[in-house]
Amino acid sequence: MIFVDTGALFALVVATETDHDDVQAWYDANEESFVTTDYCVDELLTLLVARNRPALAVATGRKMFNESLCQLHFLTPDQIRRAWVIFQSQYRQGWSFTDCTSKMVIDDLEIHAAAALDVHFLQFGNVKVVP
């Protein structure tokens, strides 16, 4: 299973994004299952609207919630509390709260690879960053 972060999802769904071709080729060639979180979906849809792509946000939201792009993991209250603990020690490194929730899910689901364009995933220390 491969965790997919917001940046990789954004590049996947926005054809004009700089990393789109690389992410799309990697996504199409991969045979492992993909998972992301409700927090990453929130970031993705918010980013699409902020970048003036509301119709794409709705279309992408449909794909995310029917899990046609990847599986969707909803964070538990315990995972959110543990992410808060991590956030308090990592915010100076520039980690967003969503980065911290992603770290929790990666650890809890024992995921060893993440599709991410965010340098903070390299700092997790226990996940191979792709593509």
Identity at 92, one-letter amino acid code? R
Span 90-127, pLDDT tens digits:
999 989 999 999 999 999 999 999 999 988 888 888 88
What is the Cα 8 distance to its own chain's centre? 7
Span 67-97, pLDDT tens digits:
998 999 999 999 999 999 999 999 999 899 9
Q: What angle do CA 113, 118, 74 make, to 5 degrees?
A: 65
Say which CATH superfamily domain 2-130 falls into.
5'-nuclease (3.40.50.1010)
Contact status, residue 127 vs residue 110, Cβ threshold 8 Å: no
Written as six digits, the tokens of 66 are 């029917």
Q: Which of 115, 92, 93 is nearest to 6 (CA)?
A: 115
Q: Which of 123, 127, 95 is nearest to 109 (CA)?
A: 127
d(CA 60, CA 33): 18
State the pTM of this model. 0.92
Spans of all domains in the chain: 2-130
